[in-house]
Amino acid sequence: MGRLAFSALLLVAAALPAQSQAQAPSWPPKTVRVLVPFGPGSTPDIVARLVAEGLGKKHPGSVFVVENKPGASGNLGTDTVAKAAPDGTTIGVSIGGPLAINTLLFSKLPYDPQKDIAPVTQLITQPSALAVNPGLNVNTVAELIALLKANPGKYNFASIGNGSLSHLAMEALAIKAGVKLVHIPYQASPAAMTAIMRGDAQMGCLPAISVTPQAANGAVKILAVSTAKRSPFLKDVPTLKESGIDVEADAWMGLIAPGATPPALVEAINKDVVEIIKQPSVVDKLATQLMEPVGSSPADFRKLMNAEIDRWAPVIKAADVKVN
């Protein structure tokens, strides 16, 4: 073999490992875990199972297993995704708390969402509803604010936990409106709703899906939704911004992967999942939970995560909200 040919072979052989390292693992592998940082039956769990079912139908040669790992306000399951192998075998469904807001509330997280999480796509948007006990005799946000200003510190609001979106949304409302409220945290939406209906708390900004059944039977009144635009499921209900309170709180969910996942693999997962959540049958199932599909790019999802930190940092500081 000539010297030039031998040298060329050496160059090709040297390049092969680099090329194989640059190539993303094929998607999907035989088994994929879909981590949910909340318990079975939670809204993230419902969305995760819709995604897993759709992926299973699209890729019948692979198995997609939903695994619930609740704890630490969603941090535990999200950390499991962050520390998983970046090869497509583990993805997760998470929310604004563990992906953004908790960086402001916890003195230390076991993962860094900026480095250890690869955003894949924003899956859904869903409104929260400002609900009040009918005994307050208010029918609009303006009437509620007038009542609160006339009675500073007299009224309580219920949330689904210290530092939750339901907590921060009401703190933001109080700050923007210049009123004083007393916070009472509960373990979950049903307990918070029961407190409002009984009058233990007089109001709350809770997931709309937990409010609408009670509003339908007159147990509570819905004054506004917290999203940037009106919900197609509550078309007659104004937004907080329309009502004169510049507060926006979207209970979104997103699909994530480990931070070191190759961009080509992230894009492949994104393409599959966006296609699935926009299928008419999936859209209909999401609608039963008052959710709309989004299907953003990884870059836009990262922007959303960063925007949440910018949105809630001043509220958390002004209200002196602390978790640990």
Whether the link from the prior residue into 262 is cis, omega within 30° of 0, is: no
Question: Does residue 88 have a pLDDT over 70?
Answer: yes
Task: State what percent of residues in the chain have pLDDT above 90.
Answer: 89
The pLDDT score that the predictor gives to residue 104 is 95
Residue 267: CB atoms within 10 Å: 15
For the segment 82-110, the average pLDDT, to the nearest whole number, is: 96
Question: Does residue 20 have a pLDDT over 90?
Answer: no
Q: Vertex 17, ends 15 and 23: CA angle to 5°? A: 105
Lowest mean pLDDT among 4-18, 90-104, 165-179, 266-280: 4-18
Question: Does residue 290 have a pLDDT over 70?
Answer: yes
Tell me the β-bridge partners of 138: none
Looking at the chain, the number of H-run helices and the number of E-run strands are: 13, 11
Length of the chain: 324
Question: Does residue 31 have a pLDDT over 90?
Answer: yes
User: Residue 163 — left, alpha, or beta (φ > 0 → left; ψ -120 to 50 → alpha)?
Assistant: left
Element (H, E) at 21: helix 3-22
For the segment 277-298, the average pLDDT, to the nearest whole number, is: 97
For the segment 180-199, the average pLDDT, to the nearest whole number, is: 95
Asked if 298 and 119 count as a contact pair (C-beta separation under 8 A), the reply is yes
Question: Does residue 216 have a pLDDT over 80?
Answer: yes
pLDDT band at 322 (very low <50, low <70, confident <90, very high): confident
CA–CA separation, 31 vs 89, rounded Å?
6
The pLDDT score that the predictor gives to residue 323 is 83
For the segment 128-149, the average pLDDT, to the nearest whole number, is: 98
pLDDT band at 18 (very low <50, low <70, confident <90, very high): very low
Domains in the chain, please, with CATH? 31-125+252-319 (3.40.190.150), 128-225 (3.40.190.10)
The pLDDT score that the predictor gives to residue 135 is 97
Look up the pTM and report it.
0.89
For the segment 176-199, the average pLDDT, to the nearest whole number, is: 95
Strands 90-95 and 31-36: parallel
pLDDT band at 254 (very low <50, low <70, confident <90, very high): very high
pLDDT band at 25 (very low <50, low <70, confident <90, very high): confident
For the segment 194-202, the average pLDDT, to the nearest whole number, is: 97
The pLDDT score that the predictor gives to residue 49 is 97
pLDDT band at 199 (very low <50, low <70, confident <90, very high): very high
For the segment 272-296, the average pLDDT, to the nearest whole number, is: 97
For the segment 119-148, the average pLDDT, to the nearest whole number, is: 97
Asked if 176 and 130 count as a contact pair (C-beta separation under 8 A), the reply is no
Mean pLDDT value across the chain: 93
List Cβ neighbours of 83 (8 Å cut-off, separation of 6 or more): 111, 116, 258
The pLDDT score that the predictor gives to residue 256 is 98
- pLDDT tens digit string along 35-69? 999 999 999 999 999 999 999 999 999 999 999 99
